[in-house]
Structure 1
Amino acid sequence: MANKIGSNVVPAFERPTDVNIIMTIVHPQPLVGLGNLLVLNKVTEPATLAKNAPAAQADTGGEKKQDNAQGTDTGAGKSSTPTGRAFSNSLSNDDRMAGILMRKVDTATGALYREYKNLDAVAVDYPENTPVWKKASSYFAQPSHSDRIAVLDYVEGKLLDSLKDFWFNNWTFAIFTDNTINDDVVLASNIFESNQDHFLVLQSDDLSEFTQFYGQNYTIGLKHTTDEAMDAAFVGAIATKQVGSVTWKFKELKGITPDVMTTQERAGIENSHVIGYLNVGGRPETSEGFSLSGEYIDLLHGEIWVKTNMANELQRLLQDNDKIPYDNRGISMVSAKANYVLDIAWRQGIIATDDLTGKGIYEVVSTPYSQQSRDDKSKRHYGGLGFTYKASNAIHTLTVKGTVQSDTILS
């Protein structure tokens, strides 16, 4: 095997032997996420792509010039271009050593997307106690956080296009650095509702702020003081656990202070389909596990898992086979793959179990070749596959009836 640095190619020395051992190092795969977090950070100045400049250098020891309004670093982590927010899409060795996993500039909108592997890496571009750093700090304080966090810098009026460009990157949950409920937040909620494959988590200490979001399946409301990043902790503590295996109620959030609530206050947030954080039985816990529509997050997260994995497995089926014949043999292969995905979903707890059979309550239906239209056959399109399943539920409250036997005879 030849290794190359610069212009020199150096092949490995040949050992005089009849046995040649070739070793391959297998690295863990990144957590491609249905639980990864994106931090949405509004900036005043668009990012540009550095031209004829070396890849960005991560100078963790150097001076960081900070935009105090936005908490955006304009020193370390960018290209050597002396003015403006100019960045390279290529990572340098220093960037990688600092824990920066990815950087991409959208030249059309001025948006900048980056992924970091830990809090120290975030601090390269967003110094300690800036809004982004505080969110990341709360996220990485949770025991179940992912192996990365993403940050999207976007410019005023460019949120929709910026999200569109990075929608299919490695994240599923999003929060804002600024917990103010404004036009950007309303727009974002509608974007998430339209796509139905990501979640927006909002946090406010004012319950009335959530009124306009009632009915939104993919927007989650948290009532808590904005002095603490409960939104980041909420995602970090729960989202990366195996989908289907966890409900979002009863969970402890590290570094978040439980609120003291009256019975009436707790009833108010639950009736509003908002989630609080309080002590119950001497332990802190999230008060519920639903989105602002009242639908439960674990059920919606399961739907996203099924949709994502069904698409991925069927795509691999087409790619890994030289040919899927357009006849009943090929249709059976497609149907078998759909059953395979739903079986995994059942084993993970996304799909309910039939009490009589002990199997998952799901069904895959595939219509035979003879029922496909001439037009579909001509276009090599098969549209006869469908499935249904019953979502698994969870116990959130209990009512227990007891009887006490007394020896006292009452007159």
Structure 2
Amino acid sequence: MAKDVNVIIDIESPTPRLGFGKPLILGSAATGKPYKTYADLASVKAEFGETTEEYKAALAIWNQGDAAPAEIAIARQKTGVDSETVSDVLERLMKEDWYFLVTTTTLQADVEEFAAAIELDGTREYFTRSSDLVVVAALKSKLYSRTTVFYHTTISNYPEAALIGRVGSAPVGSVTWKFKFLQGIEPLDITNTELNEIHAAGAITYVTKAGRNQTSEGKTLSGEWIDVIHSKDYIKANIEYGIQILFADTDKVSFDNTGIAQLESVTRNVLRQAFLQNMIAQDDDGLPLYGTNFKRRSEVDPADRALRTYNGGEFWFDLAGAIHETTIRGLIRK
């Protein structure tokens, strides 16, 4: 898709328009199947039947009740004669409206290809499942920041799809992916040592803590937080979208301080919304920790002005993050 706006965000350590809560279930069949949106489970059942993997994944998503997305998308990769490669199928699907990818395949070679392709694209996230920690560890060695692996001894009921259904449609940045109850998924009865081994391999899982069934972590294979990647993508895409709309709806964005201020205003509006959705932290006085620095016309290279290209805009923000663990000390006085 052609565009005139390119936003680059680097995560400083330590540190068409997408529907950012919309999952895509990708199956496979000899005839393939184009991208299609579904608004309820009955429609999926009518088209695919209850025994298909696509239906099982959709059920896991919509089983999460009010937290589940209003709609999902399903497509199938063509197999057999004239089969589609991973590159082929993603090339046609990247033009569509979705953010979270769930594949019905769990074959290691397939998962590695999808993970690599999603990482290279840099605009979506891939959730997969595994019952083999050796396979998970092999994936972790790639340090993919856009792939999350859900480990469970039972993966036929799509625990990773359930997690997307539970969390993915919340306002971006407003939730963490840890501590979440998943309807229809049984917690693993494991020791702390076994849980640590799962996390060390690079996966997350589902356990019981303080009598509550909940997800054990909220990380991708690289160790980055899922909500950080989600927030980064949201801010980048919305600044690009907002400025592209500004260009389209304005007779001319002048290459002067007024036009530059328009670009900065769009950027600040997106950052303000990100702050309201709890992506961006606040200081001790409750003020949002973000800022912009857009060079004035006089500070811009004349060669850029001649090319009508403005490269002088910058912004920064502090991630709000989330508290996942705590140590609280007490003192008994006699």
Query: Could you state the TM-score of these two structures normalised by the residue count of structure 1?
Result: 0.73
The amino acid of 1:205's aligned partner reads S
Q: How does 1:81-100 map to 2 (within 5 A)?
A: none
Q: Deviations for 1:213-257, whole angstroms, at most 9, x for unmatched residues?
A: 221100001001113210110100000001111000000001111
Which residues in structure 2 correspond to 1:276-287 (within 5 Å)? 276-287=205-216
Which residue identity is paired with 2:85?
A: K
Residue of structure 1 in register with 2:123 after alignment: 197
Residues 147-189 of structure 1: per-residue CA shift (max 9 Å, x gap)? 11111211244221211122131210011112332x2211110
Counterpart of 1:152 in 2: which secondary structure? strand
Choose from 26, 51, 64 the match for 1:40.
26
In structure 1, how many angstroms separate the alpha carbons of the residues matched to 2:208 and 2:35?
A: 37
1:134-154: per-residue Cα shift (whole Å, max 9, x none)?
111111111211111111211
Is 2:35 aligned against 1:113?
yes
- Give the match for residue 322 of structure 2: 394
Asked whether the equivalents of residues 18 and 99 of structure 2 are also in contact (C-alpha less than 8 Å), the reply is: no
Give the secondary structure class of the aligned counterpart of 1:397.
coil
State, as a whole percentage, how many aligned pairs show the same letter: 31
Match of residue 66 from structure 1: none
CA distance in 1, matches of 2:243, 2:186: 45
For 1:373-405, what per-residue CA distance to the aligned partner results, in whole angstroms no more than 9, with x for missing partners? 333222222111111111112110111222234
Q: Partners of 2:328 and 2:258 in 1: how far apart?
A: 54
Structure 2: distance between partners of 1:310 and 1:168 = 19
State the distance in 2 between where 1:236 and 1:120 align: 17
- In structure 2, the residue matched to 1:354 is 283
Residues 126, 132 of structure 1: 8 Å contact kept: yes
The one of 138, 143, 152 aligned to 1:212: 138
* Structure-1 residue corresponding to 2:113: 187
Q: Which amino acid aligns with 1:210?
A: V
In structure 2, distance between residues paired with 1:129 and 1:155: 19
Deviations along 1:55-110, one digit per CA (max 9) or x if unpaired, are xxxxxxxxxxxxxxxxxxxxxxxxxxxxxxxxxxxxxxxxxxxxxxxxxxxxxxxx
Equivalence map 1:330-341=2 (5 Å) = 330-341=259-270
Q: CA deviation at 1:130?
A: 1.2
Are 2:87 and 1:165 equivalent residues in the alignment? no
Name the residue aligned to 1:270.
199
State the secondary structure of the residue aligned to 2:208: strand
Query: After TM superposition, where is structure 1 displaced by more than 6 Å over at least 4 residues in a row?
Result: none
The structure whose Rg is larger is 1
Q: Is the 8 A contact 2:133 2:198 kept in 1?
A: yes
Q: Aligned equivalents of 1:273 and 1:289: distance in 2?
A: 11
Q: Is 2:252 the counterpart of 1:323?
A: yes
Which of 135, 142, 150 is the equivalent residue of 2:57? Answer: 135
C-alpha distance in 2 between matches for 1:36 and 1:174: 9
The equivalent of 1:150 in structure 2 is 73
Whether contact under 8 Å (1:179, 1:226) holds in the other structure is: no
Matched, 1:369 2:297: yes
- Distance in 2 of aligned mates of 1:404 and 1:134: 54
RMSD, aligned α-carbons: 1.6
Higher relative contact order (CA 8 A, sep 6+): 2
Distance 1:39 1:227 in 2: 14
Report the Cα offset of residue 343 of structure 1: 1.2
2:4 aligns with none
TM-score, with length taken from structure 2: 0.89
Cα shift at 1:314: 0.9
Q: How many Å separate the matches in 2 of 1:171 and 1:139?
A: 14
1:319-367 CA-to-partner distances (Å, cap 9, x unmatched) read 2222211111111111111111111111111111122x42111121111
1:258 and 2:187 aligned: yes
What SS does the corresponding residue of 1:404 show, helix, strand or coil? coil
Cα deviation for residue 32 of structure 1 reads 5.6
Letter aligned with residue 26 of structure 2: L
Distance in 2 (CA, whole Å) between partners of 1:149 and 1:162 is 18
Q: Contact 1:299–1:392 at 8 Å: present in 2 too?
A: no
Corresponding letter in the other structure for 1:196: G
| 2-structure distance, mates of 1:349, 1:250 | 18
> How much has 1:118 moved relative to structure 2?
0.9
Aligned residue number for residue 87 of structure 1:
none
- Partner residue of 1:343 out of 272, 289, 311: 272
Map of 1:382 onto structure 2: 310
Letter of the 2:137 partner, please give it.
Answer: T
Match of residue 106 from structure 1:
none
Q: Distance in 2 between matches of 1:193 and 1:236?
A: 22
Confirm or deny: 8 A CA contact 1:134 1:229 kept in the other structure: yes
**Structure 1: segments with no counterpart, 5+ residues:** 1-30, 47-110, 407-411
Q: What residue number does 2:44 align with?
A: 122
Is this contact kept in 2: 1:33–1:240, CA < 8 A? Answer: no
Whole-Å Cα distance in 2 between the matches of residues 273 and 347 of structure 1? Answer: 31
The residue identity in structure 1 corresponding to 2:50 is E
Cα drift, residue 45 of structure 1: 3.1
